[in-house]
Structure formats: C-alpha cells, structure tokens
Amino acid sequence: MLDAKTKPDNVVVSDLDIFTPENIRNPLGWHPILRDAAPVVWLSKYGVWATGRHELVNEILKDYKTYCSSAGVGLANFHKEEPWRPPSLLLEADPPDHTGRREVAGRVMSHANLRRMKATFEKEAALLVDRLLDKDDVNGVDDIAQAYILKVFPDAIGLKPEGRENLLPYGNMVFNGFGPRNEIFDEAMKRAAPISEYIMKCCTREELSTDGLGAQVYEACDNGEISEHEALFIVRSYLGAGLDTTVDTIGNVINAFASYPEQWTKLRQDPSRMRAAIEEVIRFDSPFQGVFRTAARDVEIGGVQIAEDDKILVAPGAANHDPRRWDNPDEFDIDRDASGHMGFGYGIHECVGQVIARLEMEALFGEMVKRVERIEPVGPTQRRLNNTLHGFEKLPVKLVGAAAN
Ligand code: HEM
C-alpha cells in the first residue's frame, strides 16, 4: 500500500491551497489550476489527492464502494482522527447502513410529500417582496435569503420559534468542519457547545410539532423502518444541510441576475424557464465547492495509484466549469441546458433536500420575477468565508418594482 502521508512518486504535485481566504472568495481563480495540472493531482499542503475534472468527479461520486463517505466527507479522516461531532448517519455513512435511512429521508423530502407546501412558500415570498420592493438598502443575504429561509424551512420541519438563531451558526460549524482546522474553522466552533446542545434537543420527537416533516421522520421509526436514534440524526441532517446551502444559493442567484440584467429580462419574458435558470446559477456559481471521499481500497484513477485510506477532494464547482464538458463554461446563460451539473452532488449521496430547496427558490424567485423589473447592485459585495460553501456576506441591491399591468 502507498503511504498517504508522503508524496507518491511520478505524480503531479501542486501546492494549491483551496482554503486560503483569497481562494475561498474566488474559486474561479483556482478551478483551472486544479483541472489543468493533471486529471488527479497531489495537494502537498494537505497530503490529499484532488480532481476538478467533470468526468472524474462524476466517476468518484458514483463509485461509493471504492470511494467511501464513512471516513468523513471533509479533510479529516475518521479512521485516524476523532470527528468534531458524532458523524452524520446519512452523509457520513455507506451502504448498507446508509440505505434504509436514505429511503426514509428521501420519502419525507419527496415531491409527492412536499407539493402541499408550495402555497405557503409562495405566500411567504409575496410578503417578503411586499416589504422589500423599492427599498434602497436591501442586503440580499440578510434581508432576502436568510429572512426567507429562516422562516419557511424551520416551519416546514416543525421547529419551535425559540432558538432558531442557532440554526445558521450550526450550519456554519458543519460546513467549516469539513475543512482544515484554520482560523475560519476556529471562529465557527467558538460557540460549538451550546449550539450543538440546542440542535440535539430540537431534533427530538417531543420538541417537534406533530404536523411537520420532522414528525414524519419519526413516523418511520414507529413503523419499524429506522430506530429513534436514526430518526433524530436524519432530522439533524436536515437542519445541518438545509439552511446555509439554500441561503448561499439564493444569494448567488440574486448576484447572478444583478450582474447579468439581460438574463433577468429574458426570464421575465419567459418565467417558465425559472427552474432551468436556477440550475444554471447552481452550475455557474456553485454553492458547494468541494467534498472529500476516502479510498476504500487501492485503486488507479486518472493515471495515478491511490492507496486505501487516502483522501481525495472532488470539486463539483470546478467540474461545473470544466471546458471538457461545457461550452463557454464561464458564461452565465439561462438558455443553457445545465443538466449534468453536480452542484447537488451525484450518486447515492446526491442532495436529499434538492426538492425542497427548488420549491423554496422557485416560490421566491417566481414572486420576484413577476414584480421586480430589475435587481440593481447598489454597493460593493462581500463573499463570506466558509471552508465548503460559496456564498455572500454582503449583497447590497435594490429590487426595482415593475410597473403594474
Ligand atoms: C441549493 C441548496 C443545496 C445544495 C447546493 C446542496 C448540496 C448538496 C450536496 C452537493 C450534497 C452531496 C454531498 C456529498 O456527496 O458528500 C448534499 C447532500 C445532502 N443534502 Fe443538500 N444541498 C442543498 C439543500 C439541502 C436542503 C434544503 C436539505 C434539507 C432537507 C439538504 C440535505 C442534504 C442531506 C441530508 C444530504 C446528505 C444525503 C446523503 O448522504 O444521502 N440539502 N447536498
């Protein structure tokens, strides 16, 4: 077996560090470096493999037997390091353990189950647009993305109003926790104890409403499909993965249309392209930049020999701009067929919450496209620093109202 700690011979070695503040803010800067160096490169700073090529990212995410998730989907290798939290029973699990839990988590988050929520999401979107239309000082992150998601998503799960201020900080811990133990990680973990305590409590059956999605997960444990412990961890997965991701994506959508107003005009002319337009943003400005797998056996890929227990970074954001797969990948065009992007992952761990994320975003932007003529940038934007997710901290815009028909 190769030794993962030392540089293997005859491979392309790169000193690229995707976790510097500059690279976090501007992934388009490092994507081509990673993709063009070699199909698979050795990142010397962290002693891990990496690929940003569409074909290989796809191959690795598809082959869950060779590239496992149970040793962690961040930089840490759970076979060698203690995870900072009890691992996720979905994201950080392999079949057969993963299979039954995923079945339940997916059924609760299925379109058949969620479509009844559409009207509520649309009502909340309309109320939000009422409040923000033509105001001069709207922060697309706090005032739009967070305000909307922090209302509709916890309501849908069935959380009590008290303590919701812990939800985004928890997501921040989860997604920074996938990276190295850098300053961003330390900052996110400052209040880890009370935040984790809230999360573990609010996911219990007693704390959840009886008519929300969380309660439906517990119904599967009454049917004997999963244990009470698994139900709690599935609800925890929803909360860890269901807020920041969507908040960042909404911010990226707002920014894309503020930066390319002609695309907004095009969407207003044909709102039936809404779903395709959101998919194109997820391809073009992917909220999920990197995820790790661990080799479950020695394997050859992209011309290199990877040893059992080596970690490999796959970069969906880079794959979504790979010119080997896409024509003019750095162009934002809502007429593009963006299917095949891996912004929601791929394979057995592909995002289980994508249906609710799409419903939320289609309701929000569906309302905006009817009533907002232009999303006008009104000040400098600021990207947020996060070891995994790519979104904004500040996004000053004005929603310029359309003349009433
Ligand atoms: C636009 C917003 C979202 C994006 C871009 C996104 C992205 C992703 C990605 C890339 C993965 C795969 C990770 C991997 O392969 O290791 C994933 C998995 C997952 N997502 Fe999402 N996600 C979003 C929204 C949500 C929402 C709203 C929920 C909550 C219901 C959610 C819950 C999950 C869970 C539980 C998993 C793990 C699934 C499994 O391991 O079987 N996500 N997501």
Instruction: State the pLDDT at residue 84.
Output: 86
315 lines ligand 1 (CB under 6 A): no
| Nearest atom of ligand 1 to the alpha carbon of 69 | 16
Residue 1 located in a structural domain: no
Average pLDDT of the residues of the chain? 96
Residue 293 located in a structural domain: yes
38 lines ligand 1 (CB under 6 A): no
The pair of three-digit structure tokens given for residue 210, joined into one six-digit string: 């009886």
pLDDT in tens, 330-354: 999 999 999 999 999 999 999 999 9
> Residue 2 pLDDT more than 50?
no
84 lines ligand 1 (CB under 6 A): no
357 lines ligand 1 (CB under 6 A): yes
Q: Give the residue numbers spanning the domain of 117.
A: 13-401
Instruction: State the pLDDT at residue 85.
Output: 86
> Residue 6 pLDDT more than 70?
no
The model's confidence at residue 3, banded by pLDDT at 50, 70 and 90, is very low
Residue reference for tokens 């990496």: 50
Instruction: State the pLDDT at residue 225.
Output: 97
Residue reference for tokens 């039954």: 100
Instruction: State the pLDDT at residue 403.
Output: 83
Residues 21 and 292: beta-carbon distance below 8 Å: no
349 lines ligand 1 (CB under 6 A): yes
| Nearest atom of ligand 1 to the alpha carbon of 243 | 27
Q: Whose CA is nearest to atom 42 of ligand 1?
A: 353
pLDDT in tens, 167-179: 999 999 999 999 9
Q: Whose CA is nearest to atom 12 of ligand 1?
A: 345
Instruction: State the pLDDT at residue 7.
Output: 62
Instruction: State the pLDDT at residue 9.
Output: 74
pLDDT in tens, 63-108: 999 999 999 999 999 999 999 888 999 999 999 999 999 999 999 9
91 lines ligand 1 (CB under 6 A): yes
288 lines ligand 1 (CB under 6 A): yes
pLDDT in tens, 113-130: 999 999 999 999 999 999
How remote is the CA of residue 262 from the centroid of ligand 1, in Å?
30
302 lines ligand 1 (CB under 6 A): no
Q: CATH code at 220?
A: 1.10.630.10
Residue reference for tokens 């920074």: 176
Distance (Å, whole) CA 65 – CA 144: 40
Instruction: State the pLDDT at residue 5.
Output: 52
Residue 171 located in a structural domain: yes
Instruction: State the pLDDT at residue 279.
Output: 98
pLDDT in tens, 256-283: 999 999 999 999 999 999 999 999 999 9
Nearest to 149 by CA among 243, 214, 286: 243
pLDDT in tens, 130-163: 999 989 989 999 999 999 999 999 999 999 999 9
> Residue 382 pLDDT more than 70?
yes
Positive/negative CA dihedral, 9, 11, 15, 21: negative
Distance (Å, whole) CA 398 – CA 374: 8
Q: Quote the pTM value.
A: 0.97
Residue 5 located in a structural domain: no
One-letter-per-residue 3-state SS of the chain: CCCCCCCCCCCCEECCCCCCHHHHHCHHHHHHHHHHHCCCEEECCCCEEEECCHHHHHHHHHCCCCEECCCCCCCCCCCCCCCCCCCCCCCCCCCCHHHHHHHHHHHHCCHHHHHHHHHHHHHHHHHHHHHHCCCCCEEHHHHHHHHHHHHHHHHHHCCCCCCHHHHHHHHHHHHHCCCCCCHHHHHHCCCHHHHHHHHHHHCCCCCCCCCCHHHHHHHHHHCCCCCHHHHHHHHHHHHHHCCHHHHHHHHHHHHHHHHCHHHHHHHHHCHHHHHHHHHHHHHHCCCECCEEEEECCCEEECCEEECCCCEEEECHHHHCCCCCCCCCCCCCCCCCCCCCCCCCCCHHHCCCCHHHHHHHHHHHHHHHHHHEEEEEECCCCEECCCCCECCEEECEEEEEECCCC
| Nearest atom of ligand 1 to the alpha carbon of 287 | 5
Q: Among 245, 246, 283, 293, which is best to mutate for testing ligand 1, by the most ligand atoms less than 8 A from CB?
A: 245
Q: What angle do CA 226, 227, 232 make, to 5 degrees?
A: 100
Distance (Å, whole) CA 117 – CA 128: 17
Distance (Å, whole) CA 180 – CA 391: 19
Instruction: State the pLDDT at residue 361.
Output: 98
pLDDT in tens, 294-313: 999 999 999 999 999 999 99
Residue 134 located in a structural domain: yes
> Residue 4 pLDDT more than 80?
no
Residue 141 located in a structural domain: yes
The pair of three-digit structure tokens given for residue 311, joined into one six-digit string: 């970690």
Residue 27 located in a structural domain: yes
Residue 137 amino acid letter: D
> Residue 363 pLDDT more than 50?
yes
Count of structural domains, the chain: 1
Question: How many C-beta atoms lie closer than 10 Å to residue 215's C-beta?
Answer: 17
Q: Whose CA is nearest to atom 11 of ligand 1?
A: 351
Q: Rounded to whole angstroms, what are the CA distances from 290 to 88, 126, 311?
A: 18, 34, 13
pLDDT in tens, 193-226: 999 999 999 999 999 999 999 999 999 999 999 9
Residue 194 located in a structural domain: yes
Distance (Å, whole) CA 116 – CA 206: 24
Q: What is the CA radius of gyration of the chain?
A: 21
